[in-house]
Amino acid sequence: MSTTPAPEDLRRFLDVATEAAMAGGAVLQKYWGNLSSVQEKGRSGDLVTEADRASEVDVLNVIKRHFPDHAILAEESGQLGQRDNRFLWAIDPLDGTTNYAHQYPLCAVSIGLLVAGVPTVGVVYNPILNDLYRAAKGLGATHNRQPMQVSATAQLSDSLLVTGFAYDRRETSDNNYAEFCHLTHLTQGVRRGGSASIDLAHVACGCLDGYWERGLSPWDLAAGAVLVEEAGGQLSAYDGSPFDIYSGRLVATNGPLHQLIVQELAKVQPLPQFKPA
């Protein structure tokens, strides 16, 4: 028996996620260039601002008003309700806080809905560039309300990829530096966007061909994973096994490049000069 809700329920979830993302986005527009407080959350580079917190308040208000019985996992508030609830909203009120704090406009509100543990609805909204990405299982994916799909690039030498570096990169040899160099050498380039949800949205809309990263949280991945799959792309763990949203690792591609990227990642050894002391 399928765990996916009926199409009319999915459309309602998608509309509420959009309402919440727009509410959070309005807060981010207000604080853009007007921050009075930028703090670290205990790890170097892991920033939080009053914009993160204020955006999350407005996002949660929308979700709770429509679905008071649903559980929530939010970056700033943590777990609200039981994680084994059939419906779990994974929310990042400001994905790309470092970018935002520097007024670099790759940042977003990311709202995903897991149904029985499966990413099922996703909305990513960049309020600075006014880019809205939406998807729900079986309903397709859109960019600013127009259908979107992944690229058809089939050779690594023709591809443009994106990745990121986790906050613990200075503390572990599993830091993605070597992978970045290796795949930069094999492709037309690897970008470092600084916002996982935006990176996934850009794979989904076809302007990037693939993405991999480690050290991620469910709220970084839930929405973007739906976008990529509904746009025709492919998701997996680094070794090609099924994607686990709680693993912190993801490979997301247009499909034709997927196995090629998985194979190349398996070849990479850490760069010794960047191993922790």
77-91 pLDDT, tens digit per residue, is: 888 888 789 999 999
**Domain architecture of the chain: domains with CATH:** 7-147 (3.30.540.10), 156-267 (3.40.190.80)
Residue 1 has pLDDT above 80, yes or no: no
- Segment 7-32 shows an average pLDDT of 97
- What's the confidence (pLDDT) of residue 170? 66
Question: Is 28 annotated as contributing to ligand binding?
Answer: no
Q: pLDDT tier at 99 (50, 70, 90 boundaries)?
A: very high
Residue 101 has pLDDT above 60, yes or no: yes
- What's the confidence (pLDDT) of residue 37? 74
- Segment 188-195 shows an average pLDDT of 96
- What's the confidence (pLDDT) of residue 75? 84
37-65 pLDDT, tens digit per residue, is: 776 655 555 566 888 899 999 999 999 99
Question: Is 95 annotated as contributing to ligand binding?
Answer: yes
13-23 pLDDT, tens digit per residue, is: 999 999 999 99
Phi–psi pair at 246, nearest 5 degrees: -95, 0
Residue in 23, 33, 95 with CA at minimum distance from that of residue 58? 23
Question: Is 156 annotated as contributing to ligand binding?
Answer: no
Residue 192 has pLDDT above 90, yes or no: yes
- Across all residues in the chain, what is the average pLDDT? 92
Question: Is 60 annotated as contributing to ligand binding?
Answer: no
Question: Is 92 annotated as contributing to ligand binding?
Answer: yes
Q: How far is CA 33 from CA 11, 29, 93, in A?
A: 35, 9, 17
Residue 70 has pLDDT above 70, yes or no: yes
CA-based torsion, 260, 266, 267, 272: positive or negative:
positive
